[in-house]
Amino acid sequence: MIPFVIFGLITLVFFIVRVTPSDPVSFIAGERATKEQVAELRQKWGLDKPLPIQFLIYIKQVVKGDFGISLYTHQPVMDDLMKRLPATLELTIAAMFLSILMAIPLGIISALWRNSWFDHLLRVVTIGGISIVGFWLGIILQLVFSYKLGFFPLSGRISGTAPQYITGFYVMDSVLTLNGNALLSAIKHLVLPATAVAFSSFAVITRFVRAGVLDVLRSDYVLYESAMGLPSLIIILKYVFRNAITSAVTQVGLVFAALLGGAAVVIETVFDWPGVGLFLVQSTLLADYKVILGVTVWIGFVFIAANLLIDIAQVIVDPRRVGR
């Protein structure tokens, strides 16, 4: 199943990207290039061969973990990807952390006080959260918190020099190298983009936690325990929470995968965050088809792998699922 989807994805994206009306070679060679120069480049990149042959060559490369060479940076696409991955991961993890921290308590409270004013308010807020345009929210945050108030930097990952490279995560690297200034700067740069990314995931997770808690509250064993005279605080902490969290785990995984590939792409552009998303957008504007192809396929890999991991995590959190 999974190999089929991956192969299908590569095929799909390859033909979408290659069947373009615009010719990447003449675009890159420039208007003044002679016919010979264009033909030479064409040969150099293997573009003179028929499309099916090009496809087979590409598949052979991808199997070996090679996405080819970028037409602009002249670096292997895989290297550029790996260099930018920590930035995207750092942003996504920070956003996930923020949204989970907010979503779980709010979701539980909203379920416990069902149909109260708080519940209604949160419903409106969460619908707002999935309706808001992430990149626009990012711009608003920039407008208020960096232009007007000056609390946070406008864009980028860090001011001054980056901490010594260990993991590629600036926050973690500055902790490991005991670099206090870098840590502060890295966190400050992270706050606005992470908030912009977190808003939609917060909304989705809150809705799930709420629905999960409601399901558990209606179950017979909760009724039984409260009939036995157990204090409701203990019931909630020990039984409701544990069972409600299983539905949230799936959601967290799905949201994480979605953020990694989707939301982050656009928001990285707003904050000039040097991650995979910004890389993809810049290459799109340059018509660097090798990078578009490589990054899209790679995001597909991550997405499929994430879904697989979620299925596994679900079984661990909720062993009842095995038989299903």
Partner 1 sequence: MRRSQVVLSKILEDKLALTGMLIVFSVMMVAVFAPWLAPHPQDVSQIHLTERLLAPSFKHLLGTDDLGRDLLSRILFGARVSFTIAVIAVGLCIIIGVPIGLYAGFYDNWVSSLIMRIGDIFLSVPQVVLALAIASSLGRTMENIILALSITYWPWFSNIVFAETRKVKKMVFVEATVALGATTFRTILFHILPNVLSPIIIRSSVGMGFTLLTAAALGFIGVGAPPPTPEWGITIAESRRYLPDAWWFAIFPGIAIFISVMGFNMLGDGLRDILDPRIRRGGQKAKREGEE
| CA atoms of 229 and 235, how far apart (whole Å) | 10
Work out whether 254 is an interface residue with partner 1 (CB under 8 A): yes
**What is the full DSSP assignment across 304-320?**
HHHHHHHHHHHHHH-GG
Residue 180 burial by Cβ neighbours in a 10 Å radius (0-12, 13-18, 19+): exposed
Site track 183-212 with partner 1 (rule: CB under 8 A), x = hit: ---------------------x--xx-xx-
Work out whether 88 is an interface residue with partner 1 (CB under 8 A): no
**Nearest residue to 92 via CA among 315, 308, 302:** 302
At its nearest, how many Å lie between partner 1 and the CB of residue 70?
Answer: 15
Between 94 and 270, CB nearer to partner 1: 270
At its nearest, how many Å lie between partner 1 and the CB of residue 10?
Answer: 10
Work out whether 127 is an interface residue with partner 1 (CB under 8 A): yes
| CA atoms of 111 and 206, how far apart (whole Å) | 10
| CA atoms of 220 and 226, how far apart (whole Å) | 10
**Nearest residue to 97 via CA among 207, 209, 255, 269:** 255
Work out whether 4 is an interface residue with partner 1 (CB under 8 A): yes
- Of the candidate spans 83-91, 188-196, 232-240, 250-258, the one that interacts with partner 1 by CB under 8 A turns out to be 250-258
Work out whether 9 is an interface residue with partner 1 (CB under 8 A): yes
At its nearest, how many Å lie between partner 1 and the CB of residue 73?
Answer: 18
- Of the candidate spans 6-14, 62-70, 97-105, 185-193, the one that interacts with partner 1 by CB under 8 A turns out to be 6-14
Amino acid sitting at position 247: S
At its nearest, how many Å lie between partner 1 and the CB of residue 196?
Answer: 12
- Of the candidate spans 44-52, 84-92, 235-243, 262-270, the one that interacts with partner 1 by CB under 8 A turns out to be 262-270
Q: What are phi and psi of 232, to 5 degrees?
A: -65, -30
At its nearest, how many Å lie between partner 1 and the CB of residue 80?
Answer: 16
| CA atoms of 128 and 124, how far apart (whole Å) | 6
At its nearest, how many Å lie between partner 1 and the CB of residue 16?
Answer: 5
Options 63, 178, 227, 285; binder of partner 1; rule CB under 8 A: 285
Task: Name which of residues 106 to 125 contact partner 1 (CB under 8 A).
Answer: 123-124
Task: Name which of residues 208 to 237 contact partner 1 (CB under 8 A).
Answer: 208, 210-211, 215
Rg (CA), the chain: 24
| CA atoms of 173 and 185, how far apart (whole Å) | 12
Cβ burial 82-115 (10 Å sphere, 16+ → b, else e): eebbbbbbbbbbbbbebbbebbbebbbbbbbeee
- Of the candidate spans 25-33, 60-68, 71-79, 251-259, the one that interacts with partner 1 by CB under 8 A turns out to be 251-259
Work out whether 303 is an interface residue with partner 1 (CB under 8 A): yes
HEC string for 54-100? HHHHHHHHHHCCCCCECCCCCCEHHHHHHHHHHHHHHHHHHHHHHHH
Which residues are near partner 1 by CB under 8 A?
1, 4-6, 8-9, 12-13, 16-22, 123-124, 127-128, 130-137, 139-140, 142-143, 147-148, 204, 207-208, 210-211, 215, 250-251, 254-255, 257-258, 261-262, 265-266, 269, 280-281, 284-285, 287, 289, 292-293, 295-296, 299-300, 303-304
